[in-house]
Amino acid sequence: MSEEKLSTTDTEQDVPVEQHNSTQHYEVMMELGDCLTSVGKYDEAQRHYEKSASLSPDAAGPYVGLGVVALQKNKLEDADIAFRVACRLDPKCARAYAGLAMISQQQAHYSQAFKMYLKCLELESDNLTALLGLFQTSCQMGSFEKIIHYLLVYLGMHPGDTSVMFALAALYMKDGRVAESREILHNILALEPGHKDATNLLEEVERGIVRRKQAEVCGK
């Protein structure tokens, strides 16, 4: 999601020692928080994010971490506050908008979720969480206008991502663009011959094409 920072080369050259130590401490706390979140130790992770926030009060990262922890604990109000603080500290924090979108989605506020996922993708066009969230929200709202564009942008950067390719194929099919859907499904199966969902959807697409041709013949 976000650009990972590395202090080794940057900090040694120009930054005073005290500031370097503080930056190192902040980065270690953040990394610990992220690792502990990954292994499901949310209380410990929260403590490390809080420590990170005290070390770098203007950084958005710790609040994103706290938001993620709160979201995992299903404390939506706390998560909402944390992500909003992150947005205020860094209005370009894509992960914070993704977090706000996830909260709205969980609360079935699909329109708001859609807006927040879009905002996230505007800031970080290859954010997979936002992309798949946008896809789910689009399905929940029955509106697919904008999502195709973002899926294409993402695939331009990650051409072999079959999960996103499949989402795009499904959307093309819903939009009546069966030839494009079929082409993508063939591409998925070339990459992953055992992709069952793609096989099933391709069958459906092929049946649709046959039905359409039959209807055209009957019409003539």
Give the interface with other proteins as residue ranges (CB under 8 A): 4, 6-9, 11, 13, 21, 24-25, 27-29, 31-32, 34-36, 38-39
Residue 114 to residues 143, 145, 196, Cα–Cα distance (Å): 10, 12, 29
Q: Which is nearer to other proteins, 30 or 71 (CB)?
A: 30
Q: Which long-range contacts (CB under 8 A, 24 or more apart) does 135-140 make?
A: 135/167, 135/171, 136/105, 137/101, 137/105, 137/110, 137/113, 138/114, 138/171, 140/105, 140/110
Q: Which residue has the tokens 């922890």?
A: 69
CB of 54 to other proteins, least distance (A): 14
CB of 197 to other proteins, least distance (A): 25
Residues 14, 19, 25, 31, CA torsion sign: negative
**Across the chain, which distance is largest between two alpha carbons, in Å?**
82
Q: Which is nearer to other proteins, 25 or 75 (CB)?
A: 25
CB of 22 to other proteins, least distance (A): 10
Q: Which is nearer to other proteins, 25 or 109 (CB)?
A: 25
Q: Which is nearer to other proteins, 36 or 205 (CB)?
A: 36
| C-alpha span between 198 and 26 (Å, rounded) | 45
Which amino acid type is present at position 148? I
CB of 122 to other proteins, least distance (A): 24
CB of 64 to other proteins, least distance (A): 16
Q: Which is nearer to other proteins, 68 or 165 (CB)?
A: 68
